[in-house]
């Protein structure tokens, strides 16, 4: 009976660990005993050699010349000396055996640790996914409640009180659409997590755990074989050939020879054997969608305009994961076929080299087989999700996507006086390129497009990348948002369902003036072109000069505006990124365009007419504050450092007044000019809300700069930026040192939660350090707001200047 079928339970696993601990203790006892015997043999050899030396010291030997008795005595003493040498040799051999036993013990500890880590690793994945299913269900319930509440509020505004309009109306509509999107995304995440959990649990029970246990049994038995060989070798060096020692040796050989590795664990396995683990059942909780009419289906992915981009991004990630698993499998197979695997921790004695070599190869093959099984399971799990998403996406045509929100969302438009008529003119010129048309928005991501199209009949034209090919898309607001791919005919003309036209401009002109629906199924009619916003620049207006850095989304360049010859900084977005990432990239520009403050980096515009998408900002000549602090550490005065703190506080005070949470305030994300003026930059993680709750995980969070409540609960407010500002002050006065130096992120979190705060940097004014400590108050409400921080720093600077 083997480990793989008999020892799958938790109790059996713990018993196996206890057994290995007992074996390690037994090895230590054996080692100490053999060491003591070697010591005794060595001492006896020294004593016997002393006897022989003493016996050879014959006084007046010349007087005994030719004596036979003297000759016999000398021979006797020489034999005693040979015996002493033999005992010394035996002692040395026993010391070698002790070293072998020590190495075996060390290798066995490593094997035990490896088994525990591997067992924990595969069990942790199952536990993680089990918890993930519960968490996804909880999120589902939370978003469902929010959805129901906002749906009720929506119906109150647009069904019970028609004709209402204004900012409140827009706010209700936006919040309802956000809740709807969150619900659908959560639905899909819940479905995928259940599917993945089912696959992982099955593989854990039928492949990974049995494979690990089978491998562990092989490792255990190989150690028993090596252990037996070491004991046999030790016993051989204790054989003194006398009859009484022969009888002892015979009994020792008999009991040691009776060790059989294949029978070693028979009684242990029988005692702790259990039935195979019961399969865990993962099922979609259908009660979650009882009140959702027709939009969401249990255990089925939802594909609509709210989820399709997320699904495509997820599909790309999963396909890459499948490919990586396949490549790793090939490497393992190539190693098995062409390599020369070496067993981990094998100890080969002189008398058992052949058997140990075979055992080493067997151990290596078992380990490689186990690795291959794990990779195949991972590939199968990911492929299951790939097939599921592909099937769902293939069910939706490329013409348009269903709306993610309820049909009654269109009621909103029935109650709004649009203020536009079909006589509105549209700019058209067939003699200029498409990208010069005011209603062509280049590669603006879908999410940005949806934000611009607000009234039924609003439309624009944009470019998108599908399957690595560029396609022109007509986006229309009509009972939601619809996106139509411009079809190309064989002779190079363009069309939807109607007649073809030689240019896209003429096609759009025809649809606009004819008032015909783009497609019969959609019924969408073009009423009002939405032109580019004033801050949308043309890519051709910007000349890139030199690369000056690298960001999360692409490279950063020094550039020049052709129209004004102004030097600017340009952030670029890699063309290969999905639309969701491009939306996040443009978020910084969308936030900065409305801000104007000397301590906030200024936005000049964005470029979306062509790839790559670019954000154009003022060029701050001093570069990153962090690099500036490190390069000028010897030349900065206390006054200059305090001025930098005041500048940062002024910029953050302005952001706080605009309800903007930066979320990534740090020296690396601030810029400094040649006058030592600091400007807040890098708004990629910022949110324009009084309170922001993270719902997409805590990946890429700057742990050492982030407030505890944000790390622990995902809750961000402006007072979280105050905590980060305290870290920024510490960076300024430490002249660019790394916070919590020598600590990992997890260790820093633990220390902070127990009340630890960083000590004051050298030469920091006491008042500034006290301000840092206030910023790091565990009680959020005890922290000062940026208006108070600015006033404190400004007063300290004034006092410093007056004292001089």
Q: Which of 406, 664, 682, 721 is catalytic?
A: 664
The reply, when asked if residue 571 is annotated as ligand binding, is yes
DSSP string, 689-723: SSSEE--S--TT--GGGS-HHHHHH-EE-HHHHHH
The reply, when asked if residue 243 is annotated as ligand binding, is no
CB crowding 16-45: b at 16 or more within 10 Å, else e: beeebeebeeebeebbeebbebbeebbebb
Q: Are strands 692-693 and 715-716 parallel, antiparallel or unpaired?
A: antiparallel
Task: Please give the DSSP secondary-structure letter assigned to residue 247.
Answer: H
Closest CA to 439 of 403, 470, 463: 463
Crossing angle for the helix pair 638-657 and 786-803, to the nearest 10 degrees? 160
Rounded Cα distance, 374 and 371, in Å: 5
The reply, when asked if residue 669 is annotated as ligand binding, is no
The reply, when asked if residue 661 is annotated as ligand binding, is no
DSSP string, 636-696: --HHHHHHHHHHHHHHHHHHHHTT-B-S--SGGGEEE-TT--EEE---TT-B-SSSEE--S
* φ and ψ of 729, to 5 deg: -60, -45
Put residue 735 in one of left, alpha, beta given phi > 0 → left and psi -120 to 50 → alpha.
Answer: left
Measure Cα distances from 798 to 388, 763, 765, 804 in Å: 66, 18, 14, 10
Query: Is 664 known to be catalytic?
Result: yes
Say if CB 63 and CB 17 are below 8 A apart: no
Measure Cα distances from 8 to 127, 430, 707, 793 in Å: 16, 73, 43, 64
The reply, when asked if residue 697 is annotated as ligand binding, is no
Say if CB 725 and CB 792 are below 8 A apart: no
* φ and ψ of 280, to 5 deg: -85, 140
The reply, when asked if residue 555 is annotated as ligand binding, is yes
User: Tokens representing 210?
Assistant: 């049995």
CB proximity list for 228: less than 8 A, separation 6 or greater: 256, 259, 261
The reply, when asked if residue 553 is annotated as ligand binding, is yes
The reply, when asked if residue 574 is annotated as ligand binding, is no
The reply, when asked if residue 552 is annotated as ligand binding, is yes
Q: How many CB atoms lie within 10 A of CB 793?
A: 23
Through-space distance between the first and last CA atoms of the chain, rounded to whole angstroms: 88
Look at residue 207 and give its three-state secondary structure. helix
CB proximity list for 50: less than 8 A, separation 6 or greater: none
CB crowding 642-670: b at 16 or more within 10 Å, else e: bbbbbbbbbbbbbbbeeebbbbbbbbbbb
Please tell me the chain's helix, strand, coil percentages from 3-state DSSP, rounded to the nearest 5: 55, 10, 35
Say if CB 434 and CB 443 are below 8 A apart: no
Which residues contribute to the annotated binding site for ATP? 548-556, 571
Question: Active-site residues: which are they?
Answer: 664
* Binding residue numbers: 548-556, 571
């Amino acid at each position: 009976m083997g480990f793989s079928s008999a020892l799958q339970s938790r109790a059996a696993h713990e018993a196996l660990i206890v057994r290995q601990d007992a074996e390690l203790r037994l090895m230590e006892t054996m080692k100490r005993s053999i060491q003591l015997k070697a010591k005794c043999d060595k001492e006896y050899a020294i004593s016997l050699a002393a006897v022989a030396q003493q016996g050879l010291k014959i006084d007046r030997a010349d007087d005994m010349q030719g004596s036979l008795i003297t000759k016999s005595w000398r021979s006797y003493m020489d034999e005693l000396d040979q015996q002493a040498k033999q005992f010394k040799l035996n002692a040395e051999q026993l010391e070698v055996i002790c070293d072998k036993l020590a190495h075996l013990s060390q290798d066995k500890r490593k094997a035990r640790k490896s088994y525990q880590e591997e067992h924990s690793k595969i069990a942790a994945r199952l536990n993680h996914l089990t918890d993930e299913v519960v968490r996804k269900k909880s999120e589902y319930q939370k978003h469902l409640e929010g959805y129901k509440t906002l749906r009720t509020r929506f119906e109150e505004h647009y069904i019970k009180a028609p004709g209402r309009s204004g900012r409140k109306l827009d706010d209700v509509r936006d919040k309802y659409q956000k809740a709807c999107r969150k619900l659908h995304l959560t639905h899909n995440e819940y479905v995928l997590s259940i599917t993945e959990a089912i696959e992982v649990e099955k593989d854990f029970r039928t492949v990974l755990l049995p494979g690990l246990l089978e491998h562990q049994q092989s490792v255990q038995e190989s150690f028993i074989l090596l252990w037996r060989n070491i004991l046999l070798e030790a016993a051989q060096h204790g054989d003194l050939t006398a009859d009484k020692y022969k009888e002892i040796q015979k009994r020792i050989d008999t009991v040691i020879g009776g060790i059989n590795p294949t029978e070693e664990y028979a009684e242990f396995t029988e005692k702790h054997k259990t039935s195979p683990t019961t399969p865990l059942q993962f099922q979609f909780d259908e009660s979650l969608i009882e009140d959702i009419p027709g939009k969401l289906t249990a255990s089925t992915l939802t594909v609509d305009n709210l989820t399709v981009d997320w699904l495509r991004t997820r599909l790309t990630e999963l396909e890459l994961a499948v490919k990586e698993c396949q490549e790793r499998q090939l490497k393992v197979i190539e190693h098995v076929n062409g390599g020369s695997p070496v067993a981990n921790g094998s100890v080969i004695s002189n008398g058992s080299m052949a058997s140990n070599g075979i055992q080493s190869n067997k151990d290596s093959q078992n380990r490689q087989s186990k690795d291959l099984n794990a990779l195949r399971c991972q590939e199968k799990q990911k492929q299951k999700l790939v097939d599921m998403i592909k099937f769902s996406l293939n069910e939706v045509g490329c013409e348009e996507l269903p709306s993610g929100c309820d049909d009654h969302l269109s009621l909103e438009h029935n109650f709004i006086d649009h203020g536009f008529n079909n006589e509105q003119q549209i700019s058209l010129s067939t003699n200029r390129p498409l990208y010069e048309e005011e209603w062509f928005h280049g590669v603006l991501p879908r999410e940005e497009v949806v934000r611009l199209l607000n009234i039924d009949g609003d439309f624009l034209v944009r470019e998108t990348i599908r399957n690595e090919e560029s396609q022109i898309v007509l986006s229309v607001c009509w009972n939601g948002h619809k996106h139509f791919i411009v079809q190309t005919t064989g002779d190079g003309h363009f069309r939807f369902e109607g007649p073809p036209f030689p240019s896209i401009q003429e096609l759009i002109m025809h649809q606009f003036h004819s008032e015909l629906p783009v497609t019969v199924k959609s019924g969408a009619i073009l009423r009002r072109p939405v032109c580019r916003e004033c801050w949308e620049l043309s890519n051709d207006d910007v000349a890139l000069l030199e690369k000056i850095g690298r960001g999360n989304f692409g490279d950063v360049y020094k550039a020049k505006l052709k129209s004004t010859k102004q030097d600017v900084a340009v952030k670029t977005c890699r063309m290969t990124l999905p639309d969701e990432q491009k939306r996040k990239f443009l978020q910084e520009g969308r936030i900065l365009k409305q801000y104007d403050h000397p301590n906030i980096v200024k936005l000049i515009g964005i470029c979306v007419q062509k790839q790559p998408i670019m954000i154009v900002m003022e060029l701050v000549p001093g570069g990153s504050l962090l690099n500036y602090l490190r390069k000028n550490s010897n030349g900065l005065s206390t006054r200059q450092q305090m001025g930098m703190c005041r500048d940062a506080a002024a910029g953050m005070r302005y952001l706080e007044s605009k309800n903007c949470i930066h979320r990534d305030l740090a020296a690396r994300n601030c810029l400094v000019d040649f006058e030592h003026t600091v400007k807040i930059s890098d708004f990629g993680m910022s949110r324009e809300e009084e309170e922001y709750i993270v719902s997409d995980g805590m990946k890429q969070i700057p742990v050492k700069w982030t407030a505890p409540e944000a790390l622990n609960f995902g809750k961000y407010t402006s007072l979280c930026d105050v905590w980060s500002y305290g870290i920024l002050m510490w960076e300024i006065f430490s002249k660019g040192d790394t916070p919590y130096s020598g600590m990992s992120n997890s260790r820093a979190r633990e220390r902070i939660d127990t009340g630890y705060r960083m000590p004051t940097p050298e030469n920091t004014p006491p008042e500034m350090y006290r301000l840092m400590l206030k910023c790091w108050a565990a009680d959020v409400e005890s922290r000062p707001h940026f208006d108070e921080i600015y006033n404190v720093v400004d007063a300290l600077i004034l006092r410093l200047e007056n004292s001089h």
